[in-house]
Amino acid sequence: MSRKLALALMLTGTPLAAQAEEVVVFAAASLKTALDQIAADWQAETGHQVTLSYGGSNKLAAQILQGAPADIFISASPKWMDEVEAGGDVVPGSRADLLGNQLVLIGAPEAAPVTLAPGLALTGLLAGGKLSMATVDAVPAGQYGKAALESLGLWEAAAPQVAQSEDVRAALRLVAVGEAPFGIVYASDAVAEPGVKVVGTFPADSHPKITYPAALLTGASDAADQAFLAALSGEKADAIFVKQGFSLP
């Protein structure tokens, strides 16, 4: 389903109830900076409450499948939304691709730019330090990063120096505080953290397309849930997402 069609469907739902409602959102960690602002603005406009739970999409999907009380799920990968949908937890017709992103190599603010291509001496660049990444076998940012390094022929040499974190924001923090000289995160993460610099952008064809699907979950019980999902595709939210480094589908 297209993003605009999903928005139209949400807007044709039942009008918001008069009383304040709570919307519980499980969202990929990379969305935090933008989604915090969008939720705060929407709460101020509507009087409803948005409770945001961030983490790796794999862990959030597992929690939903185990019965965690969430109304909306935003994944950083179609794979984990597929899992939730296959488990019967997605409201039919509510799923739509919300955002896109880029994969980047980050370093300290003084780090020099590099060209991410086959033949890059990545281990030499690390100089004995660690390459910070989200968990490469489960978290989308880590999976995309491993795929990109494999595509460029860099993974085998770099793998022993990879420091894996539970989600992409944790991987970002290791570089920001100087625990790792370089890391692989999304472009939006780099925008959100002034303590790092983008030193290279991975070619788009070096990894699967980065797509963030969003959907209403079967535990959603009020019109506020539908309204907030619709707001995520609205012009105000679009402007915030783009400012924070995301792309629109």
Residue 70 near residue 214 (C-beta atoms within 8 A): no
Q: State whether 9 and 93 are in the same domain.
A: yes
Q: State whether 221 and 153 are in the same domain.
A: no
Q: State whether 227 and 191 are in the same domain.
A: no
How many separate domains does the chain show?
2
Q: State whether 189 and 117 are in the same domain.
A: yes
- The answer to the question of residue 94 being in a domain is yes
User: CA 9 to CA 193: how far, in whole Å?
Assistant: 35
User: CA 29 to CA 53: how far, in whole Å?
Assistant: 9
Q: For residue 18, what pLDDT band results from cuts at 50, 70 and 90?
A: low
Q: Is the dihedral of CA 161, 166, 172, 176 positive or negative?
A: negative
Percent of the chain with pLDDT over 70: 93
Q: State whether 113 and 179 are in the same domain.
A: yes
Q: State whether 109 and 41 are in the same domain.
A: no
pLDDT number for residue 188: 97
Q: State whether 18 and 63 are in the same domain.
A: yes
Alpha carbon 114 to its chain's center: 24
**Domain harbouring 148, CATH code:** 3.40.190.10
- The answer to the question of residue 248 being in a domain is no
> Running DSSP on this structure, what letter comes out for residue 247?
B
Q: State whether 133 and 63 are in the same domain.
A: no
Dump pLDDT digits (tens) for 204-241.
999 999 999 999 999 898 899 999 999 999 999 999 99
Indicate if the pLDDT at residue 181 is higher than 90: yes
